[in-house]
Structure 1
Amino acid sequence: MAENKISKKELLQSIDQVSFAIDDLLLFLDTHPCEKRALDYYGELSLRRNELLEKYAGLYGPLTIDTGNDSCLNSWQWMEQPFPWEQEGGCR
């Protein structure tokens, strides 16, 4: 069975969408800190975002320091990859 491939652009878009939803939900939780459904949904979204960030890091390199693999580094690889906006279709 072939693995479902997702493009770099699609993966970044998914990360952006989940991140936006989390930010919006955090604003709600600022005023409704005991709302169980919102807290549960935050947990789901947070898990999904972490999965997407790890998938992106495995395919294209880390977007955040949290997904950088520091176990076997011979150099600071964080800066060796182009920034997302330097990619095709970016701001340049």
Structure 2
Amino acid sequence: MNQLPQEYYQRLEEIQAIDFVLVELTLYLDTHPDDYQAIQQFNQYAQYSQQLKQAFETKFGPLQQYGNSFSDAKWSWGTTPWPWQI
């Protein structure tokens, strides 16, 4: 397999970190549903996560399948490494 650029790993790590924050905020909000500040944080991080994923996919291809990521004209799903390959 071809070596991927360092930027690929950096962007992927940033996406994983933001998604971890979203998981933690989700768990917190499950028990504190009236915490307006936490809801605002969740919404900000959710929007940021979408932006990061869109930028990643534009440069490196789709991250998810089953309608969660759009495909380019070449149907490049599967041309980038699977998560367990990196």
TM-score, normalized by the shorter chain, greater than 0.5: yes
Q: Deviations over 1:26-49 (max 9, x none)?
A: 000000111100000000000000
Separation (CA, whole Å) in 1 of partners of 2:60 and 2:79: 11
Q: Which residue is 1:57 aligned to?
A: 57
Gapped regions of structure 2 (runs ≥ 5) = 1-5
CA RMSD of aligned residues (A): 1.8
Q: Which residue is 2:76 aligned to?
A: 77
Separation (CA, whole Å) in 1 of partners of 2:84 and 2:54: 19
Deviating above 6 A after TM superposition, structure 1's stretches of 4 or more consecutive aligned residues are none
Structure 1 length normalisation: TM-score? 0.75
When structure 1 is superposed on structure 2, of 57-66 and 40-49 the one drifting more is 57-66
Pick the structure with greater CA Rg: 1
Q: Secondary structure at the match of 2:77?
A: helix
Q: Return the offset for 1:78.
A: 1.6
Gapped regions of structure 1 (runs ≥ 5) = 1-5
Q: Return the offset for 1:8.
A: 0.7
